[in-house]
Amino acid sequence: MDTYYKPEDLPKFEEIGKEAPELAKKFFDYYGAVFTEGELTEREKALIGLAVAHTVQCPYCIDAFTQTCLEKGSTPGEMTEAVHVVTAIRGGASLVHGVQMRNLIEKLSM
Amino acid sequence: MKARQLPEVADHSVEQETSPVESFRRTLFKHGLRLERGQTTTLQINVGLLCNQVCKHCHLDAGPTRTELMDKKTLDEVVGFAQRVSFDIIDITGGAPELHPGLFTIIERLAPLTPKLMVRSNLSAMEENDPDRFIDLFRTHKAVVVVSLPSPNPGQLESQRGKGIFEKSINALKRLNAAGYGKEGTGLELDLVSNPPGAFLPPEQAQAEKRFRVLLRNKWNIVFNNLFTFANVPLGRFRQWLETSGNLQNYLERLASSFNPCVVDGLMCRTLLSVAWDGYLYDCDFNLAKGIYMSGRKIHVSEMEAPPEPGTPIAVADHCYTCAAGSGFT
């Protein structure tokens, strides 16, 4: 069965640099620097990356960051909590717009 | 004492034809490297494959049904060798050494022959069998106790080591601490070894040690000296698990792509000699698991007057990628 997403495509990511190689180099250098330990540990950054992967629903990122989180010593429980953080914020982002709705209800209603 | 000259070894990458990765020997060659012995300073003694656990990551396939145990004659020959050669470290491993009926004799005879005696423990074998008696034995001989703890998370630990093992592990660690192991100023060293609970590489060692130290102290008031991380070796029961779970190819590729030529000089096989329960010699416990004799020749410990000479080639195979991955594992 054909599918748009294939796990074997993930290792081909760097091939994007075959066109516009300077831009690709800038991106991958920046990417590497972002995930290097700074004020946050590599493990903390990987958990954030995992959460963002679920926010944007990128299957490539979910694959890569699941593996990275495990290799940085995160537990399934910690990783699941990170996904719940995503859910809480995404849900909350919709719910908080209900304040705008309520403001308008109040304006229009007697 | 004349050291034994050993010939060039054959490539033991027997999985080569069907392996998804290039042979380890070829990778060494491409980097202009040869894996040869340095000064042999450690004698690792595998006293047998009997174990109370059936860990999924076990490269030896150790377990409760195994019958291989070092007998008295072989022990005499191992002790004789350790008397002829001065080893900086003697490292007792298994299986579960606590389940060897002669462990007390083994330790009592070997401890005087080295400045550093190490005893490996899976913690539950000790906890299930008169633990204070074992701890007294270790303490009397100032043995360094090296225990397995893949994770401070109960779910991850038991997924690798079996149900009920987490509580036994914590209890055994508390017992060791109570006897002075891991505590500052006692001289009783307690080290942890952490293997990942799955088909992935372990975290960076210093980071893992920091994390374990905080979690074990805060949750259970447990302390230790050092933590060593070690990748799982694709042999034995772990390889079977990799095959049935569909992880084998990816895992082998992960190991091979993580090859770091800078760690080859520090690989443990360069300074370690492994002797099995039957007295035959290997370059490491992993080659023992694979049945690849030291430098490719079946030599018994009773034949050795001295350790192998520096420069003697080491037998390699594809599982060697494990120790040479990333920062390396010692």
What is the per-residue pLDDT across B191-236, written as a single tens digit (0 to 9) for each? Answer: 999 999 999 999 999 999 999 999 999 999 999 999 999 999 999 9
Return the percentage of chain A with pLDDT > 90, whole number.
92
Q: Looking at residues A63-73, what average pLDDT do you find?
A: 97
* Contact partners, residue A68, CB within 8 Å, separation at least 6: A46, A49, A50
Q: Copy the structure tokens of residue B144.
A: 């360094």
Say which residue, B135 or A11, is predicted with more confidence.
B135
Instruction: Please report the pLDDT score of residue B16 as a whole number.
Output: 47
Task: Give CA–CA dist B105/B117, Å, rounded.
Answer: 14
Tell me which architecture the domain covering A41-110 has in CATH: Up-down Bundle (1.20)
Question: Residues 70-89, chain A: which have Cβ within 8 Å of B?
Answer: 70-73, 75-77
Q: For residue B16, how many C-alpha atoms fall within 13 Å in the half-sphere facing its CB?
A: 12
Do A76 and B207 lie within an 8 Å CB cutoff? no
> Buried b / exposed e across B209-247, counting CB within 10 Å, b at 16+?
bebbbeebeeeeebbbbebbbbbbbbbbbbbebbeeeeb
Instruction: Name the closest residue on chain A to residue B231, using Cα atoms.
Output: A71
Instruction: Name the closest residue on chain B to residue A8, using Cα atoms.
Output: B250
Chain segment B51-108, per-residue pLDDT in tens: 999 999 999 999 999 999 999 999 999 999 999 999 999 999 999 999 999 999 999 9
Do B155 and A75 lie within an 8 Å CB cutoff? yes
Say whether pLDDT at B1 is over 70.
no
Say whether pLDDT at B43 is over 90.
yes
Chain segment A15-52, per-residue pLDDT in tens: 999 999 999 999 999 999 999 999 999 999 999 999 99
Instruction: Please report the pLDDT score of residue A2 as a whole number.
Output: 82
Query: Closest Cα of chain A to B135: distance in Å?
Result: 30
Predicted confidence band of residue B330 (pLDDT cuts 50, 70, 90): low
B24-321 CATH, one of 3.20.20.70, 3.40.50.720, 3.40.50.12240, 3.40.50.300? 3.20.20.70
pTM passes above 0.80: yes
Say how many residues make up chain B: 330
Return the percentage of chain B with pLDDT > 70, whole number.
94
Task: Give CA–CA dist B160/A76, Å, rounded.
Answer: 14
Residues of B in contact with A73 (CB under 8 A): 151, 202-203, 207-208, 211
User: Apex CA B223: angle with CA B263 and CA B155, to 5°?
Assistant: 80
Task: Give CA–CA dist A39/A16, Å, rounded.
Answer: 30
User: Domain locations in chain B?
Assistant: 24-321
Task: Give CA–CA dist B243/B18, Å, rounded.
Answer: 13
User: Across all residues in chain B, what is the average pLDDT?
Assistant: 93
Please say whether the beta carbons of B145 and B191 come within 8 A: yes
Predicted confidence band of residue B240 (pLDDT cuts 50, 70, 90): very high
Say whether pLDDT at B6 is over 70.
no
Residues of A in contact with B202 (CB under 8 A): 71, 73
- Positive or negative, the CA dihedral B111, B113, B114, B119 is negative
Q: Looking at residues A65-72, what average pLDDT do you find?
A: 97
Q: Is B196 on the interface with A (CB under 8 A)?
A: yes
Query: Closest Cα of chain A to B142: distance in Å?
Result: 32
* Contact partners, residue B179, CB within 8 Å, separation at least 6: B132, B135, B136, B139, B188
User: Domain locations in chain A?
Assistant: 10-39, 41-110
Phi first, then psi, for residue B329 (nearest 5°) are -135, 130
Chain segment A49-62, per-residue pLDDT in tens: 999 999 999 999 99
Q: Looking at residues A81-93, what average pLDDT do you find?
A: 98
List the single best residue of A45, A68, A72 to mutate versus B (max B Cβ within 10 A). A72
The CA–CA distances, whole Å, from A74 to A12, A68, B35, B198, B211 equal 26, 9, 34, 12, 10
- Among residues B11, B46, B40, B36, the alpha carbon closest in space to that of B308 is found at B40
Task: Give CA–CA dist B212/B194, Å, rounded.
Answer: 10
H or E element in which residue A28 lies = helix A21-35
| Residue indicated by tokens 């229009």 | A108
Instruction: Name the closest residue on chain B to residue A41, using Cα atoms.
Output: B207
Query: Closest Cα of chain A to B201: distance in Å?
Result: 5
Strand B42-46: give its sheet, edge to edge.
Answer: B226-229, B190-194, B144-148, B116-121, B89-93, B42-46, B272-275, B281-282
Q: Copy the structure tokens of residue A3.
A: 């599918």
Query: Closest Cα of chain B to A76: distance in Å?
Result: 8
Predicted confidence band of residue B13 (pLDDT cuts 50, 70, 90): very low
DSSP B312: P
Say whether pLDDT at B283 is over 50.
yes
Question: Residues 4-43, chain A: which have Cβ within 8 Å of B?
Answer: 41-43
Phi first, then psi, for residue B10 (nearest 5°) are -80, 160
Pairing status of strand B116-121 against strand B144-148: parallel
Return the percentage of chain B with pLDDT > 90, whole number.
92
In this structure, of A80-84, B16-20, B141-145, the range with the lowest mean pLDDT score is: B16-20
